[in-house]
Structure 1
Amino acid sequence: MNTEPLVVIVEDEPKIAQILVDFFQLEGFKTQIVSDGLHASEAIKASRPQAVILDLMLPHKSGLTICEEVRAFSDVPILMLTARVDEIDRLTGLNIGADDYICKPFSPREVVTRVKVILRRMQKTTQQQVDVLSYKNLQIDTNRFVCKLGEAPLDLTPVEFRLLTALVRRPGVVLSRESLMKNAYDDSRIVSDRTIDSHMKNVRTKLNQAQAENNLLHSVYGVGYKLE
């Protein structure tokens, strides 16, 4: 990881907390210990960690209550530690937003591994979300090479798809023909302005076929094109 992610460890047993600190720090994480439940939610809100290790049984306030409080302001991954292994506690914890459980006694290495798995899954989900672009009622899924205007699919060539994607990434911004050329062709070929204009004409035609008078694509005389 390029930056050290922060893990808040809410645990009232100092030896367990320190063991977790040692293992997380060995894997490149920063750590913060909160030793009771009273101020746990406030500490998590203030520090904005990438993950929380939350003991179920804490002084002053239970881990389930803290989990519920945290979910009111954050989607941070929460892994709960518990010595209570009955199914009711597990289901209750998951229903209020815990991402995972691990039972005491546990392997600290397993705790670190589970947190890393959760963070990787979240990163992948975030990346997939980023790859779906939208502007007004135009949607582009760059992973699946799918483009829709409203509910109507657009049958775009690869060059047209890349051109429209470049415009959707920067709505309202005029992209020059040179800039569009670089987005359309990844082999540094030289094409004329008329070639870009021809592709953009085709894109406009397909937008109009999908939805008449959509008024999304605009040409700016002597400069280039924009979506607005």
Structure 2
Amino acid sequence: MKSPHILVVEDERSIQTIVRTYLESAGFTVTVVDDGRIALAQARLIQPDLVVLDLNLPGMDGMEVAARLREESGMYILMLSARGEEADRVAGLRIGADDYLTKPFSPRELVARVEAVLRRQRETTVSTATVYAFQHLTINPESHEAIAAGQPLDLTATEFQVLLELAKHAGRVLTREQLLSLVWGGDYYGNDRVVDVYVGQVRRKLQDVTGQLLIETVRGIGYKFVDLKS
């Protein structure tokens, strides 16, 4: 079986070496570049399974690279940066990053997070005949499509999975911890703030198209999908 291909975008040589060594030891094929513009060209060429993307890059800032990748594809993005402020993490997630790791980091944790994201990818591509149909929304997991009010929703892979899990449990409240386990995996290392960001993005996209609030916040508990047929 072909090993997953990881594109590492990092301009610090020492970090390049460490990340390449650990990822290759874990069985991944690795391509390393050190410039934002080159990263875009390489991503288009090799279509990697996942991009490990530093934010502070020559040529083009990592945030812009992530935004352009999101416009063109659904490939997974794990952001890597020395910035530790929550605002930077949230900004990266809103652009469409699937995870965020702050320097200094453990190379073993990086490998674990890459593996967790790719496991999510395999799970979402498993064929299923179930189509979830609601009053304003239809979700087809097999074709990876969500149609709201007759229009296809423009969702990243992670946003789609968040919506799918909420829809699977329609009418029930899912806690942040449950959503983390269902979407990011039980071994996710990050902060549960990622759930709030992604649910907020999915809710906004649904509301923009349908004019309806289809995902409710249950204060102190979690979130509930409420687009039930009357």
| Normalised TM-score (structure 2) | 0.55
Map 1:53-68 → 2, pairs under 5 A: 53-68=52-67
Structure 2 match to 1:47? 46
Structure 1 match to 2:128? 131
> Matched residues, percent identical?
42
CA deviation digits over 1:97-144, x for unaligned, max 9? 0000000000111111101001101111111xx21268xxxxxx9xxx
Cα distance in 2 for partners of 1:97, 1:25 equals 26
Structure 2 match to 1:82? 81
SS of the residue 2:87 aligns to = helix
Map 1:13-162 → 2, pairs under 5 A: 13-127=12-126, 130-132=127-129
Cα distance in 1 for partners of 2:69, 2:82 equals 22
Structure 2 match to 1:176? none
Larger Rg: 1
Cα distance in 1 for partners of 2:130, 2:89 equals 37
Gaps (5+ residues) in structure 2?
132-139, 141-230
Cα distance in 2 for partners of 1:15, 1:74 equals 29
* Count of matched residue pairs: 133
Cα distance in 1 for partners of 2:85, 2:130 equals 44
CA deviation digits over 1:24-76, x for unaligned, max 9? 11111010011111221111111111111000100121110000010111111
Gaps (5+ residues) in structure 1?
135-140, 142-228
Cα distance in 2 for partners of 1:89, 1:80 equals 10
Cα distance in 1 for partners of 2:82, 2:14 equals 16
Q: Which has the higher contact order (CA 8 A, sep 6+)?
A: 2
Structure 1 match to 2:154? none
Cα distance in 2 for partners of 1:41, 1:69 equals 8
